[in-house]
């Protein structure tokens, strides 16, 4: 972090001033602000780039900025650090975890690999650097199918940690993946009952879903894809109404890119809670973004041997996704 003392600045109470101050701090730090689609709309609007996990990884890798302020979850900021060690990587909240990452601890993952000698470990990017370091190739929801199709037909494949994405990949590739039993707390619980009601109310609406959703929901979907792919689908489709079965933060971009269309979030759980909102992604706020740019922390650091070990399967992903 360059030697700038910004610590005396108090958090502005006025929301517009807060936004202006974040812009000023960002410029003073020379920071590139990257944001995932599941961030609050006001954070997305401040970002230099908004994207899905693969696009954010690529943006972090090619960045020349001395600071990357990463508004997403911790594993995404870790990926930025692994791919761009020269940059200081800041994240507004270190508590921005992920239920998939939590479900798969490195020691358990190592034992699982050892129990399947000869299998290649294809691991979803939603995991810790420790698990990445033990994997052969990393995938994102937008690159997984393409990467799995490049593996030899007779190669046994372990897929961790998302069992729903894994089951989806089994169906589309016809490969017999051995699955880790993890799940996303958000995508696992979309209410099929509420969805049925919405389909009755909006018979013309198309259902777009993220592949982290269970099979029962994906079977009803008109389109399945990563956050960026869903965004492209709804913008390019000639239809006007869509039911969205992924985190509703993405609706902000949908409304910006296709203002005349209607996007209806599929509710979670009983249909009465806000459990379709990712509790981890929403740990980042304008206030802690201001504070992190002001204070130069929380900062993502990791031991160099871990970074180098996690870099290999990530580089393999970037190569195989580009083919
Ligand atoms: P995408 O790569 O599709 O943006 O997915 C990230 C994620 O965490 C989905 O829950
Ligand atoms: Fe993890 Fe699910 Fe949140 Fe994505 S939406 S970050 S998979 S908990």
Tell me the best of 52, 73, 140 to mutate to test the pocket of ligand 2, counting ligand atoms within 8 Å of each CB and taking the most: 73
**Torsion from C-alpha of 116, 117, 118, 124, nearest 10 degrees:** 50
The pLDDT of residue 270 is: 65
- Distance between CA 71 and CA 63 in Å, rounded? 15
- Confidence (pLDDT) at 191: 87
Confidence (pLDDT) at 178 = 98
Q: Decide if 84 contacts 135 (C-beta within 8 A).
A: no
Please tell me the predicted confidence (pLDDT) of residue 275.
79
Domain 15-98+281-301 fold is Rossmann fold (3.40.50)
Handedness of CA 59, 93, 36, 181 (dihedral sign): positive
Torsion (CA) 162, 167, 171, 176 in degrees, nearest 10: 100
Is residue 67 within 8 A of residue 31, CB to CB? The reply is yes
Can you tell me which atom of ligand 2 is nearest the CA of 280?
3
* Cβ burial 181-209 (10 Å sphere, 16+ → b, else e): ebbbbbbbbbbeebbeebeeeeeebbbbb
Q: Report which bound ligand comes closest to the CA of 276.
A: 2
State the Cα–Cα distance between residues 159 and 157, nearest whole angstrom. 6
Q: Is 98 in the pocket of ligand 2 (CB under 6 A)?
A: yes
Ligand 1 midpoint to CA 241 (Å): 22
307 alpha carbon – ligand 2 mean position (Å): 22
Q: Which ligand lies nearest to the CA atom of residue 268 in the structure?
A: 2
**pTM over cut 0.75:** yes
Q: What is the pLDDT of residue 8?
A: 75
* pLDDT value at residue 5: 63
Domain 187-276 -> CATH class? alpha beta
Name residues contacting ligand 1 (CB within 6 A).
Answer: 52-53, 126, 140-142, 184, 210, 212, 226-227
Asked whether the bond before 298 is cis by omega within 30 degrees of 0, the reply is: yes
Closest ligand (CA of 50) = 1
Q: Which ligand has an atom closest to residue 278 CA?
A: 2
Q: Which parts of the chain have pLDDT scores under 70?
A: 1-7, 270-274
**Whole-angstrom distance, CA of residue 67 vs CA of residue 87:** 5
pLDDT tens, 244-290?
999 999 999 999 999 999 999 999 876 566 679 999 999 999 999 99
Cβ–ligand 2 distance for 276 under 6 Å, the answer no
CATH 3.40.50.10800 residue spans of the chain: 15-98+281-301, 100-184+310-322, 187-276
CA of 227 to the centre of ligand 1 (A): 6
* 288 φ, ψ (degrees, to nearest 5): -75, -20
CATH label, 100-184+310-322, candidates 3.40.50.10800, 3.40.630.30, 3.50.50.60, 3.40.50.1100: 3.40.50.10800
The structure tokens listed for 165 are: 């994405």
For residue 268, the model assigns a pLDDT of 85
Instruction: Determine the residue of 73, 210, 250, 275 to mutate for testing ligand 1's pocket, defined as the one with the most ligand atoms within 8 A of the Cβ atom.
Output: 210
Check residue 137 and give left, alpha or beta (phi > 0: left; psi -120 to 50: alpha): beta
Please give the distance, rounded to the nearest whole angstrom, from the Cα atom of residue 193 to the centre of ligand 2: 22
């Amino acid at each position: 972090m360059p030697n700038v003392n910004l610590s005396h600045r108090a958090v502005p109470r006025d929301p517009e001033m807060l936004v202006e101050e974040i812009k000023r701090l960002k410029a003073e730090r020379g920071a590139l602000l990257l944001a995932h689609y599941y961030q609050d709309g006001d954070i997305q609007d401040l970002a230099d780039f908004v994207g899905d996990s693969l696009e954010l990884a690529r943006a972090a890798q090619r960045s020349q900025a001395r600071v990357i302020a990463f508004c997403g979850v911790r594993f995404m900021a870790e990926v930025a650090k692994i791919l761009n060690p020269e940059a200081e990587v800041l994240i507004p909240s270190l508590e921005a975890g992920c239920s998939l990452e939590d479900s798969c601890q490195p020691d358990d993952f190592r034992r699982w690999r050892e129990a399947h000698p000869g299998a290649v470990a294809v691991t979803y990017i939603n995991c810790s650097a420790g698990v990445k370091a033990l994997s052969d190739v990393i995938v994102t929801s937008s690159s997984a199918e393409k990467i799995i199709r490049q593996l030899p037909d007779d190669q046994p494949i372990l897929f961790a940690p998302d069992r729903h994405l894994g089951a989806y990949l089994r169906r589309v590739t016809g490969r017999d993946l051995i699955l880790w039993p993890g799940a996303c707390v958000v995508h696992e619980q979309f209410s099929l009952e509420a969805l049925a009601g919405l389909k009755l109310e909006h018979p013309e609406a198309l259902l777009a879903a993220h592949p982290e959703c269970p099979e029962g929901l994906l079977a009803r979907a008109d389109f399945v894809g990563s956050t960026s792919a869903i965004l492209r689908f709804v913008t390019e489709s000639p239809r006007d109404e869509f039911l969205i079965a992924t985190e509703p933060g993405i609706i902000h971009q949908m409304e910006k890119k296709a203002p005349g269309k209607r996007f209806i979030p599929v509710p979670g759980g009983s249909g009465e809670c806000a459990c379709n909102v990712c509790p981890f992604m929403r740990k980042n706020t304008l206030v802690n973004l201001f504070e992190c740019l002001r204070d130069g922390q929380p900062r993502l650091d990791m031991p160099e041997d871990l970074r180098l070990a996690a870099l290999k399967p990530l580089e393999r992903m970037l190569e195989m996704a580009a083919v």
